[in-house]
Copies of this chain bind each other. A is one copy, B any other.
Amino acid sequence: MSNWDDLRFFAALARVGSLSAAARVLQTDHTTVARRIAALEARLGVKLFDRLPRGYALTDEGAALTVRLGAVEEAVLAFERQAGGAGQAIRGVVRLGAPPAFASQWLMPRLAPLLDRHPGLVLDLSVANAISNLSRREVDLSLRLYRPEDKGLVARHVGRLTYGLYGRRDYVARGDDWRYIGYDGELSDVPQQRWLRELAGATGVGLMTNDLSAMLAALRAGMGVAAVPHVLAGGEDLVCLRDGPEAARDLWLVVHPDMRRSPRVRAVMDALVEATAPLRAG
């Protein structure tokens, strides 16, 4: 057989029963899973799955093959375990850049499992925003709220931050005459800031900062209302007054192509993709 990798797709689909679910497991697109299964069936001359409206069901032939497939999986796993022992453990420093508030208030705790899995790994989380520090190798990979245009970098879409207009529950209860909290300086043109200005209208922005954590602190202090990502506005104190679909930002994982080969960079990337899965759902 000229492509053993199709078996990986067969195994995942057999296990979970739908293209979409298998895609999530394999961290790929459901159309890729469909093509790989079709290619495998064509190559073998065997129909492995029945296509149903709500998923793929193993045929009798497909089910019969899953025993052999299990043996392949076990053999590959044994190979990987031995390889894992033979090679150096994932160790060393990985420098990750991420937007400050997102990194400190959302991402950091979600990286705990990664460090648990790899005691030798040292994560250096840098909150600088400038893309240039990736090209200058100041960081190994970074999360960004905009897609880099540098063709020498690889960008993968890992999520979408949607925004809402939030305020503290008791603050907003006292009426419409709210103070709008916004960004200043170089951040005044980001989508959520434009949306906020629309909302503020003639009232205008009454408090400005360039730091989202400071903005969240101001919200929690009842100093006004602000456009912030839903995922950072947790807790009962803050309520969402209005959804802001036009303020949504895409989240990109950006890496230099050469760095992807590094096992430790690879491990961090995989953990980030896993951690950001909820930002891709829905």
Contacts and interface: CB of A to CB of B under 8 A. Distances in A.
Contacts of A90: 45
Contacts of A84: 44
Contacts of A44: 80, 83-84, 86-87, 263
B80 A1 contact: yes
Contacts of A65: 79, 82-83, 86
Nearest to A73: B75
A151 interface: no
A200 interface: no
Contacts of A5: 3-5
Given A4-B4, A4-B7, A266-B43, A68 B72 contact: no
A281 interface: no
Contacts of A61: 86-87
Contacts of A2: 8
Interface string A52-90: 000000000100110011011011101110111011101
A6 to B, nearest CB: 8
Contacts of A74: 75
Given A5-B5, A87-B61, A42 B261 contact: yes
A105 interface: no
B7 A43 contact: no
Given A46-B87, A65-B83, A82-B64, A76 B1 contact: yes
Interface of A: 1-5, 7-8, 38-39, 42-46, 61, 64-65, 68-69, 71-72, 74-76, 78-80, 82-84, 86-88, 90, 261-263, 266
Closest 4 CB pairs of A and B: A46-B87, A42-B261, A45-B263, A45-B87
